[in-house]
Amino acid sequence: MASRQKIAIIGVGLLGGSLALALKKKKGMDLVGWNHRPSSRKKASRLLRVVPTLEEAIQNADVILLCSHSSTVLPILKLIGGLVKSQALIMDVSSIKGQIVQSAQAIKGLENHFVPCHPMAGKEKSGSGFADAGLYQRHTVFITPLAKNPKALVRKAVQFWKSVGAIPVLLKAQTHDQYVALTSHLPHLLASAYVQLYGVQAKRSKTLSTAAGPGFKDFTRIAAGNPAMWSDILEMNSREVIVFLNQYRRQLSLLEKQLRKGSKSFWFSFFEKGKMIRENLK
């Protein structure tokens, strides 16, 4: 009889908890979780078996998933690198890959275990209480291998993500960070800045909230994301975000000039182009 595969989830929040729920549907797996805070471990225990120490969680684990904030990935890797079993696969879910890949490649022997990953899945809500077994279904997971990762290890990572319904895509770390700066990090920055502008005005007018319709709520939904997580992300990927923020600023300047001109033909063309691009999104 084949032995059960032990999977350790480090950081059982939204992403880690959703993995736990997806994996619980499969047979032959021993799931174990660990969170840094006792209160978070108590909440996570509703989803899977939770242990009190990181060392106990990773002991003899076949797969280790680092699902905590981006800034914690490298410290945890340095801590557990020499403690894992010889054939263990370690993956993260951080939305920053450049810094992590560069630093991880300098840790001796880690290339035989660690394959950096980033699932393009999530919600504006955080915590294990919002975990969803179908969170990864049909969502892209970027895999940005280390230069010396064995091909068999990368294939193992690809197969893991396929097993929870995700679509693995191999990509260079730098390219990944450029992509998500435009499609994820900049939008979050803008949504948060915009909703704070609304907040200032709302203090001056008690009835302003009555004008906050579905469009406003759709546009600002992502501003409700986890502040600690997004602080890490913006700090670690600031260089790439600045590039697109500057481009966006120039576009806003051009739009302001058009508003002063009052050109109806321009606006029709502008909105038509935006509508076409949005409707062609997959």
Strands 117-119 and 140-143: antiparallel
- pLDDT of 1 above 60: no
Q: Please choose, from the candidates 164, 161, 163, the residue with its C-alpha nearest in 3D space to the C-alpha of residue 142.
A: 161
Q: What is the pLDDT of residues 53-72, one digit of tens each?
A: 999 999 999 999 999 989 99
Taking the CA of residue 118 as centre, how many other CA atoms within 13 Å lie in the half-sphere pointing to its CB? 26
Q: Please choose, from the candidates 159, 121, 156, 155, the residue with its C-alpha nearest in 3D space to the C-alpha of residue 140.
A: 121
Question: Which has the higher per-residue pLDDT, 254 or 123?
Answer: 254
The whole-angstrom separation of Cα 249 and Cα 270 is 17
Region 174-182 average pLDDT: 97
Kindly provide the residue ranges of all beta strands, DSSP E only, lying in the chain, ordered along the sequence.
5-10, 29-34, 49-50, 63-66, 89-92, 114-115, 117-119, 140-143, 167-170
Q: What is the pTM of this model?
A: 0.91
Res 4: pLDDT: 85
Q: Tokens 């994301």 belong to which residue?
A: 225
List, in order of start, the domains of the chain with CATH numbers.
5-171 (3.40.50.720), 176-279 (1.10.3660.10)
Residues whose CB is less than 8 angstroms from the CB of residue 24 and which lie 6 or more positions away in sequence, other chains included: 31, 47, 48, 133
Q: What is the pLDDT of residues 63-104, one digit of tens each?
A: 999 999 899 999 999 999 889 999 999 999 999 999 999 999
Q: At what angle do helices 227-236 and 70-80 cross, to 10 degrees?
A: 80
Region 142-171 average pLDDT: 97
